[in-house]
Amino acid sequence: MSFVRQAIFFYIAMGASGVVWLWLNGADLAVLYINTNEWMRDVALGIGIGLATVALWRLAELNLSAARRLSARLAAALPSLHLVDVVLLAASSALGEEILFRGAIQSAWGPEIATVIFGILHGMFDRRFILWMLFATLAGAVFSIMTVFAGNIVPAALAHALINGINLRRLVRNSS
């Protein structure tokens, strides 16, 4: 099975486990749906925060050798990906992670715990990825705030998908 298929399967399983967790705990599944009265606000918030986060990381790369080294490590670890692969990975990872972390974990244990777990798992238990873990923890905190503000995961999922898509595309281009 290809890297992309394995990753998509993993993220679908992650999202499904979040939905099951919410359902088994009797939580309100509305956290997973866009608020039809505020959809423009939620979409604008997600796009704005996503683009601002990408710009912040780009500034980090331009000014911090640790950020450049991290991007180089991540690019070297990636297989060759087509644009459709990047889009599928960005969308599935954002949805799967946001359903589990902001939907289920945040609903059950609060935003602080969801943010810390999200950040730690992005560090991949490897000190070479400590900057990624710190950046993911900061992003996770912003995603948690967005979810509380909107009452749903839609803005966080949009921001997350944009961040992943733009950065993944750039990393793949830099690795070739």
Please, are residues 42 and 151 in contact by the beta-carbon 8 Å criterion? Answer: no
Pairwise CA distance, residues 162 & 87, whole Å: 9
pLDDT of 41-90, one tens digit each?
Answer: 999 999 999 999 999 999 999 999 999 999 999 999 899 899 999 999 99
What pLDDT sits at residue 1?
63
Count of alpha carbons within 13 angstroms of residue 154, beta-carbon side? 19
Q: What is the mean pLDDT of residues 113-122?
A: 95
What pLDDT sits at residue 55?
97
> What is the radius of gyration, based on Cα positions, of the chain?
16
Candidates 93, 50, 54; CA nearest to 171 is 54
What pLDDT sits at residue 72?
94
pLDDT of 16-26, one tens digit each?
Answer: 999 999 999 99
The answer to whether residue 95 scores a pLDDT higher than 90 is: yes
The answer to whether residue 124 scores a pLDDT higher than 80 is: no
Quote the pTM value: 0.94
The answer to whether residue 115 scores a pLDDT higher than 80 is: yes
Q: What is the mean pLDDT of residues 6-15?
A: 97
Q: Is the torsion defined by CA of 165, 170, 173, 174 positive or negative? A: negative
Average pLDDT, rounded, for the chain: 94
Q: What is the mean pLDDT of residues 33-41?
A: 92
Tell me the percentage of the chain whose pLDDT exceeds 90: 87
More confident residue, 95 or 77: 95
Total H helices, total E strands in the chain: 8, 0
